[in-house]
Amino acid sequence: METKRKALGKGLEQLFSNESFTFNDFEKTIVEDTSKDDVKEINLDDLRSNPYQPRKVFDDEKLEELTNSILEFGVIEPIIVKKSTIKGYEIVAGERRTLAARRAGLKTIPAIIRDFTDDEMMTIALLENIQRENLNIIEEAMAYKNMIESMHLTQDELAKKLGKSRSHVTNILGILKLPKKVQDMVLNDKISMGHARALSKLNDEIQIFDMANKIVKENMSVRALEDEINNNGFEKKVTIKRQNIKDKNHLVVQNVMREKIGTMVKVNNRNIVIPFDNDKDLERILEILDIKINLD
């Protein structure tokens, strides 16, 4: 392990701990610790995407700008790759540069070859996209979920690693409670993160989908959506169909708990129901509620 860390470059242990570490620092460290002789020209046909790349949709306009820059100046900063266990190389950092280089008609691209574990590749891909160009909210949520599950992190540990607040991580993960069709609308920028967060507080999938279509059709603002969700007429409809909550105070408590815990809490009939997906999700909820129980 020690030999490997020296090959990676000084200080990279911090990236893969639970401390905050920026992608720019990571890439700068790799580049500075690499001599010009160690930068190789790799055939673009030998490159495969990072299997943990969270970005599913690339901004075509920004990609075109990068392509034009490469046509004029070439690829200024090498990408970072690792040898694939199958064939060729996997991109660790530099997915957009690789796509733009292909668009520019290049056959090869300068690259630094290093060795990384799967967990490290996942962390690097997420950091690059979050810190250099914002991920779509669904892409970010899926990346958070994958990191928590594969690296056995708590939400608090993930938040520290990414330099985010725990409430931010909780809210982002809550978006994954939305129906798949609505998630696709967010993924394709038809509705915004603010819209998605407001919709994630609802339970009834038909209502969520109807409201999502209304957002697109009427170009509804987030404030207008929140007003419609919170006005008396809509609340009465939700009450009858979904929750039978007669006491408005219970509804307030329910919404506050949903916001804090990031799951569809129900408050009715003198009961508080907090659903969870699995043991890891249960541990997350207990942590938020500051309840310490040894579940082993």
Query: Which residues are catalytic, by number?
Result: 95
CB 60 within 8 A of CB 167: no
Length of the chain: 296
Exposed/middle/buried for 204, CB within 10 Å: 0-12, 13-18, 19+?
middle
Interhelix angle for 137-151 vs 166-174, to 10°?
Answer: 110
CB distance 9 to 29 below 8 Å: yes
**Long-range Cβ contact pairs of 179-183 (< 8 A, separation 24 or more):** 179/205, 179/208, 179/209, 181/209, 181/212, 182/208, 182/209, 182/212, 183/138
